[in-house]
Amino acid sequence: MAETIGALATLACSLFAGAAVYITIVEHPARLSCGTEAAARQWIPSYKRATAMQVLLAVLATLAGATRWLSGGGIAWLFGALLIVSVIPFTLVAIVPTNSRLLEPRRDLSSAETRHLLEAWGRLHAVRSLLSVLATLVFLVALIGS
């Protein structure tokens, strides 16, 4: 049972990391290449859809990783769980203010400020990608070692 929980933590974290890296390396640069207004219009529904999926995966990976640690799996499971859960406060503190500004009802979607916010959002999202990749690597090492 413990191995299954470890595999679940690794799978959920890997899915989160894969989605985050895809957004960082592919989707966000592609949207920015379409011009500021088009990028902002595409970012809004993409952000809303991705949020639900990524919150679920981050929570699942955290709970499964912590459960695996509590079941005697070793400190790497705790470390991986702490890494993946760190995306949640990082998002709330660093990314949500940018999101809120991008979602302002009267925002000029073609403005230089909107472009700046979208570019800043991309850099901030890259941090989430890095944290989730690191967590995935820690979980993989722990999974292979168990």
Containing structural domain, residue 46: 2-145
Q: What is the pLDDT of residues 93-129, one digit of tens each?
A: 999 999 999 999 999 999 999 999 999 999 999 999 9
Cβ density class 68-88: b for 16+ within 10 Å, e for less: bbeeebeebbbbbbbbbbbbe
**What is the tally of structural domains in the chain?**
1
Q: What is the pLDDT of residues 28-79, one digit of tens each?
A: 999 999 999 999 999 999 999 999 999 999 999 999 999 999 999 999 999 9
Residue 29 token pair: 């640069």
SS3 111: coil
